[in-house]
Structure 1
Amino acid sequence: MTTADQRIHFGGDYNPEQWPEEVWAEDTRLMKEAGVTMVTAGIFSWARVEPRPGEYDFGWFDRVMDNLGDAGIRVCLATMTASPPPWLSRLHPEVLPETEDGRRKWPGGRQHYCPSSPVYREYATRLVERLATRYADHPALDTWHVGNEYGCHTRQCYCDVSAADFRRWLRERYGTVQALNYAWSTAFWSQRYDTFDEVLPPRLAPTFANPAQQLDYWRFGDDALRQCYLAEYEVLRRVTPGVPITTNLMPHHKPVDAFAWAEHQDVMSLDHYQDPYDPRTHLPAAYNFDLMRSAREGQPWMLLEQAPSAVNWRARNSPKKPGTMRLWSWQAVAQGADAVLYFQWRQSRGGAEKYHSAMVPHAGTGTRVFREVSDLGRELASVPDIAGTRSRANVALLTDWNSWWALELDSHPSSALDQSAINRAHHQALFDAGVACDIVPPHRVLDRYQLVVVPNLYLLSEDNAARLAAYVERGGHLVVSFFSGIVDTCDRVHLGGYPAPLRRLLGLRIEEFWPLAEGETLSVHGELNGSADLWSEAIDLEGAEAVAVFGDGELAGRPAVTRHAYGEGTAWYIGTRLDPAALRTLMDRAREAAGVAPVLHGLPEGVQATVRQGEDGRRFLFLLNHGTSDATVELPEPMRDRLRPGTGDTTAVPLPPRGVAVLQPTDHFPGALT
């Protein structure tokens, strides 16, 4: 996203090919009325611009780009490759993906391509070359949008093309088949390979497939999708070297390692659809927004898709209550977004998403949705100086896609472990306390953080374990939760007693895992009291002290939560899943011991507070009321609400349910983030 016109960009997906050309002039007129500054265009235009192989019709799209440019609207231009035209699979059926049981996925939806297909990549990059060359110097071009929601519908392909690509990938990773056999523990169940040619994807098997093979296929699947992206990226970088490049990721999306993809994006982009039926839907949103901001170390990111009101793809699709769209849009900005866009501009008349809301609904502009959208556009335009500012956190939450893929494989002590849910539970304990949090990979430099939280790193390399130990030894504070540090990068158990690479750091040994039955709970008491479910462990202390013990069950009296002084720092361990209140108590104690304060003390329940700061010292305090009751937030000094000009300075901010305030202190904000 360019910085020449510094502002919070506002707009949505624009699909003019769905409408007669006479509608286009009205589109740009209404966009200006609604405060639109940017649209994404061309996402699903491949079949229209290349109706037959090698025959291009860009004339109509030239007029679209010119109309937008003349209206002063910037374009995040898609590469049009997300949905191949029907002629491609007719001529080359080998591009179609297959499931693990050998069923072919056919055209009729979208993403009907095998990520490993060289034929798909050849046709896609040929189109991108034409597109980039044609619009390289167009004044409306702002950013490139490669593909769309990679891995949304075709997460992995198991066809023969993918099998050959997998074998190539394995040769590059391991070098020799002997190294592969060692990494995959193929001595078990007579799985030894004599040549790479014998290796297949983990297709449907009579029973559990080799877990290391499954883990590598997750890695390979992510890499195959990324190679599709990079093939287009390289064309764009060569033809338009000064234009930023992005692609829209999905929320904490298992097939796509956001940290690996972040290295190849100029700005992170996210599609996020909160659920109006869920009163706590802002919590997973907060997690994903923090992840996007952290993936490129605090750089502002783009909310590339959200819904103005209802979606079409849940079992039941509620519209957003008045004010909800505004609240959730400002939540993204409060957590680092410099663009708020929607799917889509004009609601489709036909097709699978005709009941998905749009900025211009079926009922037209005389609607609540269009009024709310236009009001938000004006609000965002009134605070252009927010753009480019950043958030700073003193707490890091560690997560790792390799560990996620390994944790949720089959034949484990429990199949109920959900990486995303585990992460969000720990993040919620910080969010509810009003504490800013970065979400980072375990190889990120940790020294600037006062507290590091590890919800689960089932897979942990010796190197990353040593980094955690060094962080604590130098005075850091660490919280680690259950079933962490168990296997290496090949899903082989670290020997020497669980969790072998963390035993000295945590000051304990785990003899056995005791996963709990569905619905079973245990009491926990000591310095904190509450209940636990899902998981427990038989912990023997080796220098750590018990903070809380199990009150009942086979492990009654055994440690449930521990604390260990290590070097100059402290390492906490949670050997079970605590109830939310007990986890919040523990996290509060750990962060207080680490000297981590909330953004504001005494926040009313349901109110979120965040800070963004510019290099020039300007600061913005965001207050958002996600609760159902009126709230008043006391400020440490007089501030002015930028969304309510003319109201003067105040030290108390009233917030109705779904209320938003964007405050600027007269001089500076003396909160925890200074």
Structure 2
Amino acid sequence: MRRRTTPESFDPSQVRAWNAGLTGLGFGGDYNPEQWPDEVRLEDLELMREAGVNLVSVAIFSWATLEPREGELDWGWLDETLDRLHTTGIQVALATATASPPPWLTRKHPEILPRLADGTVLHQGGRQSYAVTHPVHRDYALRMATRVAERYRDHPALALWHVDNEIGCHVPRDYSDAAAAAFRDWLRERYTTVDALNEAWGTAFWSQRYGSFHDVLPPLVAPTFANPTQQLDFDRFSSDALLDYYRDLRDTLRAITPHVPTTTNLMATSATKGMDYFSWAPELDVVANDHYTVAADAERYVELAFSADLSRGVAGGAPWILMEHSTSAVNWQPRNHAKAPGEMLRDSLAHVARGADSVMFFQWRASRAGAEKYHSAMVPHAGRDTDVWRDVVHLGRTLRSLGEVRGSRVRARTALVVDWPSWWGAELDSHPTQELRYIDQVQAWYRALWRRGVTVDLVPPHADLGGYDLVVLPTTYLVTDADAANVAAAARRGATVAITYFSGVVDEHDHVRLGGYPGAFRDLLGVRTEEFVTLQAGETVTVSGKVVGGTSQVDLWTEKTRLADGTEAVATYDDGVLRGRPAVTRRETGSGRAWYVGARLDEGGLDALVGTLVDEAGVAPDVAAPAGVEVVRRWSDDAAPGQRTGTSWLFAINHTDTDATLGTADAPVTGRELLTDAAVDGLLTVPAGAVRVVRAG
């Protein structure tokens, strides 16, 4: 892959803060003035003042408007837009305008179009109709980014560069000729020799041995299963190729505006498998994320919390930007969901509670035409006399009242390991079952911890685990020796570590770790699984033990496991071919404990087990809340790590239709509630569907 490099003279310390020009939290959304006549644009400015908007993203999909014909540039409307926004006191996250190539470019250079694994070409007519690895597209995109940067480098409204848009959203894997060539280059860099590649890929199997890198292809549609390590490496390459595209655009901007921070809007959610965002994070000056709730999920606010925590995890705990979410319904789900009264406020403040320092939407004004015309916006089709607009204005006032939380951080003593290579590897074909979905296992554990009110950091397996008392690894299928040692060290130090089935099974090349499962974690856990015993659709077995609440129904996954000396079976199978064998085990190691969960427990059993782990690790929340009430605390910089002193802000979000009371004689809630400006002395009432934020300290 060909990439520019950041100029040697670039000094990261000179990059200004993205929110240096803002007072308090950011508030706004995607603004697309090119879709509207001037009288509407003028009205937009008045409405933005009314709502309290202070930050908008501009020119995301504007390439064809800025350059309607090759070399013919029209800057007038964008000049006027930025000048007007500045006069109104609104900062701009200015895009590179490269999110979709204009029709003249794909007509002239159809070779830049991406392809599916079966050879299908993805044509112009939607968006992102480009192969990120194609040098022709790269040259045109860099040229456009250069033009934008040179024109607006000194504009006073420019706060942040918005690079491209949701990179990899629609084409996370491209199988074009350009991608194939770039994949071979990536493999040469990774393995150096073709012999090393053959060893890593196990090409002695099925006569796949390569004599030259020139013979290697992406994992195209084949008569049967493609080489699994080839698939895994193509996943790695594809994430890297998309990141390389971002870096090339970023470095182009840095060469012209070294003082302006850069980012791109990630999609760090439970649905985004394509990009390993932990590897992207060091390349971003600030992490920005897009999130949309799932209409079919009755507890969609829990998935929202997961995605917000994942965004904070990718950001390394630093505050981040919510770049997009929706005021109400989206347009792209099978059955879209208009948000209920108070839901948009709860969604917005849940992101803030979990570390966002800006709340933004797609989009400012609902489009009249195009594929997203039924996507909700801050200004709906029906205009100002609407509940949505009144809710937007109310949200703006609310965020202004919370400005003091800016820069504060969430603290957690529980780590939930999320690992994209394990996600890719666990879902390869020709496995013990095709029904296992990695993210479902992660989400099940997250939801159980959420129901306990436990604040969780989502971290990669190589993260520093020193500050965590509970570490959970759901289905961490693929681990390096170093990552396995990192986890074991956390347990020896004193943490409670819980590892689930289909973890530690293979190394980074997807080669099975011989000697019995769970491979890399076998010695830590003191267990040895002889074979996986997966269950058929509708088949269940019963597991019994106090730690699972008495009994739990198990489906999908069980294992034939033996115990080493010093390991205790704390739950066993009651029936089936594994009757009497261990299902959940516990082992003392160093100053800590290591648990193995070898079966997929039902919700009740997992809840009971998580309760046991939370109690053992001592990570219960300092403020208990009724079911359906979300409680998170952000801490100021003057609050000492590991101590409950200093200034903090307690967010309490009531997702139920019943008023809730927080606080007890032993754990009172005290301070000042910022949304009502009322003193709190012991008990905090959170009305049904409402949010309260209490400053303490």
| TM-score (ref. length: structure 2) | 0.94
2:622 counterpart of 1:594:
no
- Letter of the 2:505 partner, please give it: I
Q: Report the aligned-residue RMSD.
A: 1.2
Paired position in structure 2 for 1:144 = 161
Counterparts of 1:68 and 1:621 in 2: how far apart (Å)? 34
SS at 1:563 equivalent? strand
2:621 counterpart of 1:621:
no
Counterparts of 1:659 and 1:407 in 2: how far apart (Å)? 40
SS at 1:99 equivalent? coil
Paired position in structure 2 for 1:642 = 674
Counterparts of 1:145 and 1:392 in 2: how far apart (Å)? 28
| 1:7-48 C-alpha deviation (Å, 9 max, x unpaired) | 111111000011012221111110010111111111100101
- Letter of the 1:656 partner, please give it: P
* Runs of 5+ unmatched residues, structure 1: 669-674
2:558 counterpart of 1:536:
yes
2:283 counterpart of 1:261:
no
Counterparts of 2:301 and 2:337 in 1: how far apart (Å)? 16
Paired position in structure 2 for 1:326 = 345
2:684 counterpart of 1:653:
yes
2:573 counterpart of 1:550:
yes
Matches within 5 A, 1:108-507: 108-250=125-267, 251-252=269-270, 253-507=272-526
| 1:399-456 C-alpha deviation (Å, 9 max, x unpaired) | 2111111110000001111111111111111111111110111111111111111012
Counterparts of 1:656 and 1:447 in 2: how far apart (Å)? 38
Counterparts of 1:638 and 1:448 in 2: how far apart (Å)? 27
Q: CA deviation at 1:277?
A: 4.6
Paired position in structure 1 for 2:12 = none
Distance 1:324 1:308, change over 3 A: same
Contact 1:399 1:456 in 2 (8 A): no
Counterparts of 2:249 and 2:622 in 1: how far apart (Å)? 42
Paired position in structure 2 for 1:612 = 634
Q: CA deviation at 1:652?
A: 2.1
Counterparts of 2:312 and 2:181 in 1: how far apart (Å)? 37
Contact 1:507 1:564 in 2 (8 A): yes
Q: CA deviation at 1:580?
A: 1.7
| 1:543-594 C-alpha deviation (Å, 9 max, x unpaired) | 3100100111111111110001112211001001111221122122122212
Counterparts of 2:436 and 2:167 in 1: how far apart (Å)? 25
SS at 1:514 equivalent? strand
Contact 1:2 1:244 in 2 (8 A): no
Contact 1:599 1:610 in 2 (8 A): no
Q: CA deviation at 1:104?
A: 0.6
Identity among equivalent positions (%) equals 51
Paired position in structure 2 for 1:576 = 599
Counterparts of 2:83 and 2:603 in 1: how far apart (Å)? 54
SS at 2:534 equivalent? coil
Counterparts of 2:395 and 2:205 in 1: how far apart (Å)? 60
- Letter of the 1:586 partner, please give it: L
Counterparts of 1:220 and 1:354 in 2: how far apart (Å)? 35
- Structure 1, 372-381 or 152-161: larger mean CA deviation: 152-161
| 1:129-149 C-alpha deviation (Å, 9 max, x unpaired) | 111111111111111111111
Contact 1:599 1:609 in 2 (8 A): no
Q: CA deviation at 1:115?
A: 1.6
Q: CA deviation at 1:649?
A: 2.9
Counterparts of 1:637 and 1:631 in 2: how far apart (Å)? 13
Contact 1:599 1:611 in 2 (8 A): no
Counterparts of 2:402 and 2:216 in 1: how far apart (Å)? 57
Contact 1:346 1:359 in 2 (8 A): yes
Counterparts of 1:467 and 1:213 in 2: how far apart (Å)? 27
Q: CA deviation at 1:55?
A: 2.3
Contact 1:459 1:484 in 2 (8 A): yes
Counterparts of 1:104 and 1:488 in 2: how far apart (Å)? 35
Counterparts of 1:259 and 1:416 in 2: how far apart (Å)? 26
SS at 1:326 equivalent? helix
Contact 1:32 1:71 in 2 (8 A): yes
Counterparts of 2:294 and 2:671 in 1: how far apart (Å)? 33
Counterparts of 1:421 and 1:20 in 2: how far apart (Å)? 46
Counterparts of 1:420 and 1:42 in 2: how far apart (Å)? 34
Counterparts of 2:84 and 2:23 in 1: how far apart (Å)? 22
2:113 counterpart of 1:81:
no
- Letter of the 2:671 partner, please give it: M
Counterparts of 1:210 and 1:638 in 2: how far apart (Å)? 59
Counterparts of 1:120 and 1:7 in 2: how far apart (Å)? 39
Contact 2:21 2:91 in 1 (8 A): no
Contact 1:434 1:599 in 2 (8 A): no
Counterparts of 2:74 and 2:382 in 1: how far apart (Å)? 32
| 1:52-99 C-alpha deviation (Å, 9 max, x unpaired) | 222221121000101111100111111111111001111111100111
Distance 1:594 1:648, change over 3 A: closer
Contact 1:436 1:599 in 2 (8 A): no
- Letter of the 1:184 partner, please give it: W
- Letter of the 2:354 partner, please give it: Q
- Letter of the 1:545 partner, please give it: E
Counterparts of 1:377 and 1:335 in 2: how far apart (Å)? 18
Equivalenced residues, count: 664
Counterparts of 2:294 and 2:188 in 1: how far apart (Å)? 44
Counterparts of 1:260 and 1:423 in 2: how far apart (Å)? 19
Contact 1:403 1:457 in 2 (8 A): yes
Counterparts of 2:393 and 2:499 in 1: how far apart (Å)? 46
- Letter of the 1:623 partner, please give it: A
Counterparts of 1:327 and 1:651 in 2: how far apart (Å)? 24
Contact 2:293 2:304 in 1 (8 A): yes
Runs of 4+ in 1 over 6 A off after TM superposition: none
- Structure 1, 51-60 or 542-551: larger mean CA deviation: 51-60
Counterparts of 1:254 and 1:291 in 2: how far apart (Å)? 13
Contact 2:28 2:364 in 1 (8 A): yes
2:695 counterpart of 1:664:
yes
- Letter of the 1:576 partner, please give it: A
Q: CA deviation at 1:628?
A: 3.2
| 1:655-674 C-alpha deviation (Å, 9 max, x unpaired) | 23321000112xx2xxxxxx
| 1:615-670 C-alpha deviation (Å, 9 max, x unpaired) | 1332100000112332222261432210002x3334222223321000112xx2xx
Contact 1:435 1:599 in 2 (8 A): no
Paired position in structure 2 for 1:671 = none
- Structure 1, 184-193 or 634-643: larger mean CA deviation: 634-643
Contact 2:534 2:557 in 1 (8 A): yes
Counterparts of 1:193 and 1:638 in 2: how far apart (Å)? 68
SS at 1:263 equivalent? helix
